[in-house]
Amino acid sequence: MSDATEGLRAVLLTREEAAQLLRVSLQTFKRHVMKELPHVMIGTLVRFDRKDLLTWLEKQKVGPSTEIAEPEFGASASAGRVAAITGPRAAQIAAGLKMSRRRSSKG
């Protein structure tokens, strides 16, 4: 096969390959996932763009962020612990509260 064919093959997935990528059965893929994805028709063959599949997968995430934010320069250790436990927004709030406490204790 040519390099172009290999490259296209890595981008366009069959139903079976797409289901394997998501680690679901072909039946689950057809029933729940396939109808939500754009696809390419090549004659009667159906192919899925790997990028579209990964974008769809990213949109399926639910719940709080699991991203751990690095504490900002000068942030306290407690703010860093909050970030590790609850996420970046909670760390920002905790740091802001600490700053307002400092300001109110000085004045």
Say if residues 76 and 92 touch (Cβ distance below 8 Å).
no
DSSP state of 41: E
Q: Specify the pTM.
A: 0.53
Please give the structure tokens belonging to residue 30.
């057809």
What's the first-to-final CA gap in the chain, in angstroms? 75
Please give the structure tokens belonging to residue 71.
């504490």
Query: Consecutive 10-residue runs of the chain (107 residues): their mean pLDDT?
Result: 61 94 94 92 95 92 69 54 57 71 66
